[in-house]
Structure 1
Amino acid sequence: MQTPKDSAAARAPFGTVLAPTMAVARFQNGQWQPAEMRPTGAIELHPAAHVLHYASTCFEGFKAYRWADGSINLFRVDRHIERMRQSARSLILPEPDAKQLAEMIHATVRVNHESVPEAPGALYLRPVLFGTSPNIGAAGTPSEEALLVVLASPVWDYFGLKPLRIFVDDAHARSATLMGSVKTGGNYAAALGPTLEARRRYQSDQVLFAPGGEVQETGAANFVLIRKGKLLTRKLDSAILHGVTRDSLLTLAKSEGYEVEERAIDVREMLDWVRDGEAALSGTAAVLAGVGVLIHKGEEHRVGNGEVGEITKTLRAALVAMQRGETPDRFGWSTPVVRP
């Protein structure tokens, strides 16, 4: 793993560079202990830890941006903290205290402020929570102990502005129905096999899961359909992740006069839409990444002209400008951590 001091770290692949300091808090004896700052590195974990056997883990991902005035600002951190607390409740993990987690995040940004890149880069924050009780017989009981760690990573674009190739898998779901809205590692592990197989067979970038022909999301991002004055995406339920970037995009689009519709979408409607419309993936890492080709049952369906759509580019630019402080924060989404 690289660190920011490595000469090769500039523009390294997303998530491969870690900032030098992390925040750590432990849940023991029924309560959260005070957090501490440590050098980013290995942690001691018992081989019988609950997380290793029963997948009791969840995480979040969001960014801090260095603005032109020298300040460093977190984007929608409150929403991410609440989603992590909801994930913990769903997994019967000790629920992080919102105030303590916010303080850990702020402290991680402040102590690693030199690792925050200038635009178009950002500092990606990754809080992770996992069960540590050493009990291999605890399949039917929750972990009584846990560790909460906040990591930071200087990052750049995940997909960039290239048009993506997306394989449409209408046979499999991304996750178990009740776990889709939980940001847990098992969902990503479940999507990895189909994604790698589609990449091998079709040179695709991601898989869009559409079990029974009903469009859900990809392994790592929500999916949206876009055309002039209109944005369509799947309605929220327990089967898909309640994306914060998705919510930001819909809120922004509504404020710009778009008709935003959230409902079930089937594959046939999607393929008809993209003949003259646009499609994109939304997520913290991807922001808004345009789709150029959808591959369904071995046939390639070009999205619009096969390039990243102009409306997608416009919406992406508007969202990025707000994240970077280049336009007014109309929705109160940015939280200053380091002031100029």
Structure 2
Amino acid sequence: MQIELKPSAHPLPAAEREARLAAPGFGRYFTDNMVTIRWTEGRGWHDAQLVPYGPLEMDPANMTLHYAQEIFEGLKAYRQPDGGVALFRPERNALRFQHSARTLAMPELPVETFIEACDALVAQDVEWVPPHGGEASLYLRPFMIASEVGLGVKPANEYLFLVIASPAGPYFPGGVKPVSIWISQDRVRAVPGGMGDAKTGGNYAASLLAQAEAAEQGCAQVAYLDAVERRWVEELGGMNLYFVYGDRIVTPALTGSLLEGVTRDSLLTLARDLGYESEEARISVDQWREDTANGSLTEVFACGTAAVITPVGEVKTKGAAWTQGSGEPGPVTLRLREALLSLQTGNAEDPHGWRHPIA
């Protein structure tokens, strides 16, 4: 699809942009432009444009506001050693975006169009990509909402796809620090047969109350158990989990209620490249506690696009608490984190073709 380029005539002055890039945080600042593509029943995808970043005009009866037909993705563009820019595995995000669309009865955006939209925005706003040499990146947020106006309960017949971008600083600017985890035994995020494996705002809204409870317990993140037996560990509110047993690493198996993270998938392969045994399996909360106590479970970490890899230090549940390993980041966690970041930033070979250079 040809994207019509109508960029901002008044981009942010270079000095102001550089000031923002010096301390971008996460999701605080946005680039000068965005991409929009419309879908209409009977016509399909049309009117692909790159336009100045700005507010959307929305009718109060927009169906997204009432029935939550909304999906999104998150991926990063990294400055490479030669000064170029590359996205990390955008085709995986595009395929997951299609899966989310099917789950919420929305039209599927072609993979090539998803990637073209991301490419166009990064190429136009390339000066917003932080310099090579650290963990900073340009975070892209492709998303789609219903744009039909009406209150009938049905899939909408009009949709709007957008891509916006925001510079992101290192997740751990002062060095990698372990997080504390609260295991929620009373609340669930998703159920098999539902939309837990779709990347939609409703799943994140479902995590907010339990996340607040985790904060009350002095924990930074909340981990969920399965909705049926309340026994099997699934994922955090916004990250997947990994368990390290010496040279063997395990991530909870996909059961239809977990999000298939791109970082999660990448680590299954990358761990094997580094000589570890990696697999998907079910891990119970009792096993988590007992294997930590007997020393066989040496490290636990969470992973996702924003944080890359985050070590777990302390774990709490109702009536129990334990320290993971020494309470500090473990060697396998740090090795995997360094290997993944080196690949993303172009400091290591790319044997699987995961880097997608921007022309």
The AA in structure 2 aligned to 1:14 is F
Match of 2:210 in 1: 194
Q: CA 1:159 to 1:194, structure 2 compared with 1: closer, same or farther past 3 Å? A: farther
The AA in structure 1 aligned to 2:241 is F
- 8 Å CA contact 1:50–1:136 kept in 2: the answer is yes
1:191-230 equivalences in 2 (<5 Å):
191-199=207-215, 201-211=216-226, 212-230=230-248
Task: Give per-residue Cα distances to partners, 1:223-249, cap 9 Å, x unaligned.
Answer: 110132110111112100001100000
323, 329, 339: which is aligned to 1:308? 329
Match of 2:6 in 1: none
Match of 2:342 in 1: 321
Return the alpha-carbon distance in structure 2 between the equivalents of residues 13 and 298 of structure 1: 36
Of stretches 71-80 and 3-12 in structure 1, the one that deviates more from structure 2 is 3-12
1:112-123 equivalences in 2 (<5 Å):
112-118=125-131, 119-123=134-138
| SS of residue matched to 2:269 | helix
- 8 Å CA contact 1:227–1:311 kept in 2: the answer is no
Aligned residues between the structures? 333
Return the alpha-carbon distance in structure 2 between the equivalents of residues 77 and 244 of structure 1: 9
Q: Please, which runs of 5 or more residues in structure 2 have no aligned partner? A: 1-11
Return the alpha-carbon distance in structure 2 between the equivalents of residues 116 and 321 of structure 1: 17
Match of 2:85 in 1: 72
The AA in structure 2 aligned to 1:15 is G
List, as ranges, runs of 4+ consecutive aligned residues in structure 1 with deviation greater than 4 Å.
none
Match of 1:264 in 2: 282
Task: Give per-residue Cα distances to partners, 1:88-108, cap 9 Å, x unaligned.
Answer: 111111211222222111001
- 8 Å CA contact 1:171–1:210 kept in 2: the answer is no
Return the alpha-carbon distance in structure 1 between the equivalents of residues 234 and 261 of structure 2: 13
Return the alpha-carbon distance in structure 2 between the equivalents of residues 5 and 328 of structure 1: 31
| SS of residue matched to 1:213 | coil
Give me the TM-score of the superposition, normalised by structure 2. 0.89
Return the alpha-carbon distance in structure 2 between the equivalents of residues 261 and 74 of structure 1: 26
Match of 1:170 in 2: 185
| SS of residue matched to 2:101 | helix
Return the alpha-carbon distance in structure 2 between the equivalents of residues 203 and 12 of structure 1: 27
| SS of residue matched to 2:327 | coil
314, 330, 333: which is aligned to 2:351? 330
1, 7, 17: which is aligned to 2:29? 17
Task: Give per-residue Cα distances to partners, 1:53-91, cap 9 Å, x unaligned.
Answer: 111010000111101111100100011101101111111
The AA in structure 1 aligned to 2:301 is A
Task: Give per-residue Cα distances to partners, 1:146-205, cap 9 Å, x unaligned.
Answer: 000001111023356111011011222212432111000000011011101210x22211
Q: CA 1:9 to 1:75, structure 2 compared with 1: closer, same or farther past 3 Å? A: closer
The AA in structure 2 aligned to 1:290 is P
| SS of residue matched to 1:101 | helix
1:1-340 equivalences in 2 (<5 Å):
5=17, 7=19, 10-30=22-42, 31-118=44-131, 119-137=134-152, 139=153, 141-159=154-172, 161-177=176-192, 178-199=194-215, 201-211=216-226, 212-275=230-293, 276=295, 277-338=298-359
| SS of residue matched to 1:34 | strand
